[in-house]
Structure 1
């Protein structure tokens, strides 16, 4: 039997000999294989029976659709990359804006007081009063106080000037308007309601009051010369007398007072004067001392 077998020798036979347990395992493996083979053969047969009489579908259209889908996928992938880059840039910009917003909030807190002062100084308030107008109001009050000392005397206690703080025009600066109080009626009214002579006396009082205030503010600067140009022709004899008396008191106080006027009555009251005489060949001048 050894000679009839495929074994070359008894040693080869003994090397190939398996134990009982190994043979059982091999038999089980073979049995499982045969079983799986039979099941696969059955499935193959059923599949062949199912496709009998059928033709293979046309796949060219599906391949074209697949190519289009692949191209669209590549395009959308590229767009996604671009969108992701834009999104990243926007996120960075958002972070920068948030940082700037924090800094702006800090600056607003720091400069809120300065902004409030600036708005107030520009006149952004219900009174439309700027800082410069506020300063001028204080100076004007001093000028009016000094002017009233002379106007009250020249008007025999009838008139006095005061500043009105009413808002006359919301588009313009206010607080520098002057009104006159008439002690005869006890009513304050606009300065423009004064007559020509009364307005001259008020203007002269303001000029002299301004001169006094400028000297007081300047500290050491003295205005030694005052020139009055016209205006005396609108005064009656009594008002003219009061105006001349006021100017004479200034002269006695050490100031040089110059008057330019066509009123002939002033010639009798002014000893030193320069008279201009018109003529056919021009004007001539004569000094009277």
Structure 2
């Protein structure tokens, strides 16, 4: 772009010099033409005056000739001027005429050259626009270059910052390697069973809950079902250790709790709830759980399971109060102390039986 701009400037200077030269020659020719034209006008006026003077002189000459001693004009001419003087005067007149024609020719040539001045000026205008465009493009490129330079410096500073932080991170990691190892062990990422520490602690407590729940679960299910605590990692990278499975003594297979039916799920939930109250009360010393409330769920049990559940609740009633919310008719017959809630259009009414 700089080289192109220099070439365009040189071309502009050359055209400018040519225009200045043409203008000087035109001005000089116009001055010469004006001077010569004035001379021609003077000569023409002089010729007219001379013509009149000649006519007057001829008249006077004829008058004088008739009055003089000369017989002819030739005699008078011979007496006044010789041929050499006349030729010299005539030659001077012809020279003035030639110079006048030359000046007129030059003047026309200069006028023709001045017609090219407009074309040259137009070309100079176009050239000037090109130069201005090149200058604008050059300034834009410089601005882009400056922006890219600033971005480069910014990226270099960011890279230095990242390298510094990486180095600091490596130093902190090396300094706290023991803590990272402990964290991996506690979180379960670095122990063989992939079992987090909190899951292991809860699992230890949960073993007591499952052990107590199996007593209730086998009683309610007439010995068919029992819980198993699963410490195995199922799949992928997930941590695990508090999962339950159920062993079905009728089939001899172990299956997940999600495969239990509605009645089986209620029996399992009731067993775990009862076991949880037993374990909490046993491990907390002075804390006692004097009441237990069970909301629905008995309708999903068959007759034998319902009788087994009522038998367990009767045993619990010896130590704490058991409240059951249900619409099952057989429960109403088995439980003597009851609160009946009757709905009316003005509100609900409680009856103690």
* TM-score normalised according to structure 1 size: 0.59
Q: Please tell me whether residue 267 in structure 1 is matched to residue 332 in structure 2.
A: yes
Shift of 1:194: 1.7
Q: Please tell me whether residue 248 in structure 1 is matched to residue 310 in structure 2.
A: no
Task: Give the counterpart of 2:184 among 119, 143, 166.
Answer: 119
Q: Please tell me whether residue 280 in structure 1 is matched to residue 309 in structure 2.
A: no
Shift of 1:208: 0.9
3-state SS of paired residue (1:179):
strand
* Distance (Å, rounded) in 2 between the aligned partners of 1:238 and 1:277: 30
Shift of 1:111: 4.8
Structure 2 portions without partners, runs of 5+: 1-163
Q: Which residue of 1 aligns with 2:196?
A: 130
Q: Please tell me whether residue 258 in structure 1 is matched to residue 323 in structure 2.
A: yes
Spell out structure 1 runs of 4+ moving beyond 4 A. Answer: none
* TM-score normalised according to structure 2 size: 0.49
Q: 206-215 or 160-169: which moved more? A: 160-169
Q: Which residue of 2 aligns with 1:227?
A: 293
Q: Which residue of 2 aligns with 1:190?
A: 256
**CA RMSD, 1 decimal:** 2.3
Contact 1:128 1:170 in 2 (8 A): no
Contact 1:211 1:223 in 2 (8 A): yes
Larger fraction in helix: 2
3-state SS of paired residue (1:129):
coil
Aligned length: 186
Q: Which residue of 2 aligns with 1:156?
A: 222
- 1:132-186, CA deviations, whole angstroms, 9 ceiling, x for partnerless residues? 1111111111110010011111111111001112323535331111110011111
Task: Give the counterpart of 2:279 among 191, 213, 220.
Answer: 213
Q: Which residue of 2 aligns with 1:11?
A: none
Within a 5 Å distance, the mapping from 1:89-100 to structure 2 comes to none
* Distance (Å, rounded) in 1 between the aligned partners of 2:268 and 2:195: 26
Cα distance 1:170–1:127, how it changes in 2: closer, same or farther (>3 A)? farther
3-state SS of paired residue (1:283):
strand
3-state SS of paired residue (1:214):
helix
Shift of 1:219: 1.7
Contact 2:222 2:305 in 1 (8 A): no
Q: Which residue of 2 aligns with 1:146?
A: 212
Shift of 1:117: 1.7
3-state SS of paired residue (1:284):
strand
Q: Which residue of 2 aligns with 1:13?
A: none
Query: Which structure: larger Rg?
Result: 2
Contact 1:274 1:285 in 2 (8 A): yes
3-state SS of paired residue (1:157):
coil
Structure 1 portions without partners, runs of 5+: 1-96
Task: Give the counterpart of 1:174 among 212, 228, 240.
Answer: 240
- 1:177-230, CA deviations, whole angstroms, 9 ceiling, x for partnerless residues? 111001111110011222211111111110111111111221221111111111
Contact 1:196 1:234 in 2 (8 A): yes
